[in-house]
Amino acid sequence: MSKRSEFLAGERPDDIAFFLHEDAVENLDALEDYAETVEDGVVLVLPGENGRNAFQKAAGTDPMELAQAAMGTEGTVESDLTGGVCPVAGDDPDADHTTRFVFAFAEEQNEEVGGLYAEGDVVHAYAVCNCGQRYSQKWVVGER
């Protein structure tokens, strides 16, 4: 089982997962030893702080700032973390709405918090579109 599969199954709650589109990173080959190659780029799964630092270095974006900016706009992030559907694509169909980055982390089930968190482990995913839109989605592990 790949690190990404383990992350998506809720088995790596202390790790960070992120997707980098091939057009969004200057030297994708430099990540070859650490990343899982996917159709349009790579996915990395790294331990918490290392993952946040690696994402910031590769994407040029602080992951917590991305999360704050994206939190207010719900969109659709692919359940395999390899892209998404920009929520403003219908407003400007001529723009390039390719997903540049996805940053994700998981929170373990917490019945005291309630809501989704009572149902199981929750994946939080934040995406950046080529058009500049930032958006997010969260889901219970195993329900997508």
- Asked if residue 26 has pLDDT above 90, the reply is no
Sheet holding 41-47, edge to edge: 36-38, 41-47, 15-21, 99-107, 122-129, 134-140
Q: Flag the least confident range among 19-28, 39-48, 79-88.
A: 19-28
Check residue 32 and give its pLDDT: 81
Domain membership of residue 29 as a residue range: 3-140
Mean pLDDT of 51-60: 93
Specify the DSSP element, H or E, that contains 119.
helix 116-119
Number of domains making up the chain: 1
